[in-house]
Structures are given as structure tokens and as C-alpha cells.
Amino acid sequence: MRNIFQLFRRQFLAYFRAPLGYTVIIVFYVVTGLSFCRLLSQSATDPMQIGDILFGSAYFWLMLMTTVVLITMPLFAEERHSGTIETLLTAPVSDIQVVIAKFLAAYVFLVVMLAPTLFYSLIMYMFIADGGAFSCKPIATGYFIVLLIISFYTAFGLLMSSMTKSMVVSAILCCIGISVTFLADNLQYALRNVWLEKTLSQISSVQHVIDFSRGLIDSQPVYFYLSGTVLFLYLAVKSIESRLWR
């Protein structure tokens, strides 16, 4: 645990030793804040559900996925490119510890960035005249599924970064992968296969967000994101271990 904590601390603080961490946080708050204000104002004339205001904005998800891509692409790719990966992996730490520490650093960064958006819920509570119309359940379930989704995306981004020394390639692969997963339900319109349509709707992050942000809890997406996260981390470890065969 001590090794994991030291590696986690090193990676997490690295985000704030360079402009990248501050830049993505500021841009995220500006874009999502403006989007939230627009939806909140729109709800005054066109009533919207609480979950739709918080999690229904395309700008919110665009910025969140962009942030995932930007903070995961250097996790291993940068160290491979600079040559420091060998120094790191020959230290008295296991490959599993390195992967877990880097994953936790990126994931905690995202959670810390996301945490202040909880104040949007307080703003909505004050904005809604009828307090009885305000419900905490869709907020709780909405944030729950968001945390699962970013865990899944972060693990995937880490896997892509472990497979290449180019941050650009890592970013492109990560962007394609999470975009396909997020928008999987849209592919069913181009396919005329009942089984594929059902499968795509089940893995679509959009559909999961819609359901959970309305207080509907389904165990299947929970298992999907948790098992996917574990699988990607396992594959990342194997990707790092493969250096021994080169």
C-alpha cells in the first residue's frame, strides 16, 4: 500500500505541476457552468427533470470525455517516450502497483474536478419555488452512474496509453473507444439486427445516464462498468508485462 500511495501521490501532483491540470479544470467549469445556467433558465418556461438539467447536457459529457482523454494519454505513453518507464518499472514496485496507482491518480483527479458541480444541486433547490418538487434521489443515482462511467473510461484510457509511446495515438484511440461506447445506441439505426440493437442499447452510456438520472436503478450497468474497469486494468498490466518479451 505504501508503494501505491507514493506512486499515486507522484502522478496526482504531476497534473498540477504543469498547466494541463489547471487548464482542463477551468475550461470544464466554464463550459459546464454556462450549459447548466442555460438549461436552468430553460426549465423556467419548459419544465425539465432534475437529472436532465444536471446530466443531460451534451457539453457536460463532451468536456468530461475530453478531460478523460487528456489526463490518461500521458500516463504511460509519456514515460515510454521519455524513457523513464524503464526506471519506474525497475524500481522495487510491481507492475500491478504501478497500474493501480496511475489509475487512482487519474480517477481521483476527475472526481475532485467533478465534486464542485454538486453545488448545482443547491442552486436548483433554491431556484425551484416548490421545495416538494425537488428530489435528491435522481441526483444521487445520477452521480453514481457518472462515477462508474468515468472509472470505466479512465481504465480504458490507461490501457490505450500503456500500448503506445505516442500520446497523440493514445488520445485518438481513447477518444474513439469511449465515443463508441457512449453513443452505442445510435449505431442501432444503421444496423437491422435485433440482437445487435439490444446489445448496443445495453452498453450505451447515454441510455444508462438517462435511466439513472431519473432515479431508475439497474444492476446490469453497474456490473458492466465495474467488470469493464477491472478488465481494462488487467489488460494494462499485461501490456506493461509484455515489455519482458521484447
Average of per-residue pLDDT values in the chain: 82
Evaluate whether 150 touches 98 at the Cβ level (below 8 Å): no
SS (H, E, C) the chain: CHHHHHHHHHHHHHCCCCHHHHHHHHHHHHHHHHHHHHHHHHHHHCCCCHHHHHHCCHHHHHHHHHHHHHHHCCCCHHHHHHCHHHHHHCCCCCHHHHHHHHHHHHHHHHHHHHHHHHHHHHHHHHHCCCHHHCCCHHHHHHHHHHHHHHHHHHHHHHHHHHCCCCHHHHHHHHHHHHHHHHCHHHHHHCCCCHHHHHHHHHHCHHHHHHHHCCCCCCHHHHHHHHHHHHHHHHHHHHHHHHHHHC
Evaluate whether 214 touches 139 at the Cβ level (below 8 Å): no
Q: Which of 49-53, 63-67, 100-104, 209-213 has the lowest mean pLDDT?
A: 49-53
Q: What is the pLDDT of residue 79?
A: 72
Q: What is the pLDDT of residue 86?
A: 60
**pLDDT for residue 210 is more than 70:** yes
Evaluate whether 104 touches 182 at the Cβ level (below 8 Å): no
Q: Which of 33-42, 127-136, 178-187, 222-231 has the lowest mean pLDDT?
A: 127-136
Mean pLDDT confidence for 237-241:
85
Mean pLDDT confidence for 7-26:
87
Q: 195 or 149: which carries more pLDDT confidence?
A: 149
Where along the chain do its domains lie?
Answer: 2-241
Contact partners, residue 59, CB within 8 Å, separation at least 6? 31, 32, 34, 35
Mean pLDDT confidence for 217-223:
87
pLDDT digits (tens, 9 = 90+) for 101-160: 999 999 999 999 999 988 888 887 777 655 556 678 888 898 999 999 999 999 999 999
pLDDT band at 186 (very low <50, low <70, confident <90, very high): low
Percent of the chain topping pLDDT 90: 28
Based on C-alpha coordinates, what's the Rg of the chain?
19
